[in-house]
Amino acid sequence: MTTDRYLRFTGTPAGRFLTRRLGLPQPVALRRWSAERPLLDGPLLHLTAGKSELPDLGTVLARTGLRAGDARPAAVVLDATGVRDVEGLAEVHAALHPVVRSVAESGRVVVLGAPLDPADHHQAAVQQGLEGFTRSLGKEVGRGRTVTLVRLTDAGAAESTLRFLLSPRSAYVSGQVVEVGDGEVVTVEDWTRPLAGRTALVTGAARGIGEAIARTLARDGARVVCLDVPQAEAEVRRVAERVGGSAVTVDVTADDAGARIADEVPDGLDVLVHNAGITRDRKLANMAAERWSSVLDVNLASVLRTTDVLLERGVLRGWGSPLFERSRELGGGRIVVTASMAGIAGNVGQTNYAASKAGVIGFVRALAPRVAAERGVTVNAVAPGFIETRMTAAMPALLREAGRRMNSLGQGGLPVDVAETVAWLAQPGSGAVNGQVVRVCGQSLLGA
């Protein structure tokens, strides 16, 4: 539950009237996933600009649970994969111009583009143009609507991505570009529990975003190992009990942390979520060396060390892991790391934190193609923006309000928004999503 009083006020008749008269932001409460309402409310409108290069797209969209209809659309999918020249961009305008205002509150607009063709600079130019178009439209649509660009060549490989983006689970993901490659994708038998039979480990699971990730992965069927520091033992055991998992207390900065984690999961891991992190803010001129090193050690060095050990020991499911004979059938391993908008845009007083989170992004981009090719393991990151946690609740009121309003959705996100994004990247059906840094920031107006 958000503590955002302004958001609650704008949801009242008096609040809507007053904010409209004064020209103030009018954020709306976002529709998030619940067991009672797992789908968006309304039909799906499927449009095309240019000649589609996705012959099976209609079949995949039908499996999302959304259907075509005459009512106000809850989602619009524009297939622009065949746009190869400037004239084709006019078709993008012609397709969306008449319908964009009709999209329901908290609805979705998903634009599908093709990878940039280095041999065709005209195609590359207009397909890159879709990125500027998408980001701008995300800042225009308002009323809790989101806009996303997905670059792909195979709709079947993108099914998990389309299901995520066309659902309430992606409520705080907007203005983003997701690339779906040609990695191996397994068939998901039960999309309500796509992680059934998998084991996931979440670091920093005792509270906040880590706790939300543990709960969401468990909801999706995973057996969750909840890890945190020994000082948080009571809290992490409480979380583990709630999700039906197990608790482990390890200081991730210890030299033997990777080996200890490996010993705690003798049957191996399918999903590794590096979420543990700390802040020690000061401007660089006032920052003691200990503040610098502690943040870099927890947020970056521990990720590098433990990942190396778990890969070397074959703990994480991969094609060559001695622990798993059915790796390909089960979809390979998943590594998801929590980065931050600070690592993309920077923040005053956070040179240490921003360096560590930018380092995480570099780690993902360098490791992802190699371990995918060698082991069938994907590596991705989520980059949260302003998320309503105990840490942001302690911020000065003016800074907190600025953080909430400086995004296209006009409000802070919730820990579950990050968790839902992690769960999508962790799915066995997301094997073609690799090396991505997905910003869970409501389309922050800075750095997004």
> Which residues are the active-site residues?
353
Measured distance CA(138)–CA(157) in Å, rounded:
25
DSSP assignment letter at 76:
E
Nearest to 304 by CA among 253, 376, 229, 249: 253
Measured distance CA(356)–CA(343) in Å, rounded:
7
What is the Cα 385 distance to its own chain's centre? 11
Please give the structure tokens belonging to residue 193: 């529990």
Q: At what angle do helices 302-312 and 351-375 cross, to 10 degrees?
A: 10
User: Angle at CA 159, nearest 5°, toward 212 and 182?
Assistant: 105
Nearest to 106 by CA among 141, 150, 134: 141
Nearest to 75 by CA among 64, 83, 86: 64
Which amino acid appears at position 260 of this protein? R
Please give the structure tokens belonging to residue 397: 């009121």
Which secondary-structure segment (H or E) carries 57?
helix 57-62
Cβ 214 vs Cβ 224: under 8 Å: yes
Nearest to 418 by CA among 381, 382, 380, 379: 382
Cβ 327 vs Cβ 270: under 8 Å: no
Cβ 332 vs Cβ 378: under 8 Å: yes
Please give the structure tokens belonging to residue 30: 């976002």
- What is 310-356 written as a DSSP string? HHHTT-B--TT-TT-S-HHHHT--EEEEE--THHHH--TT-HHHHHH
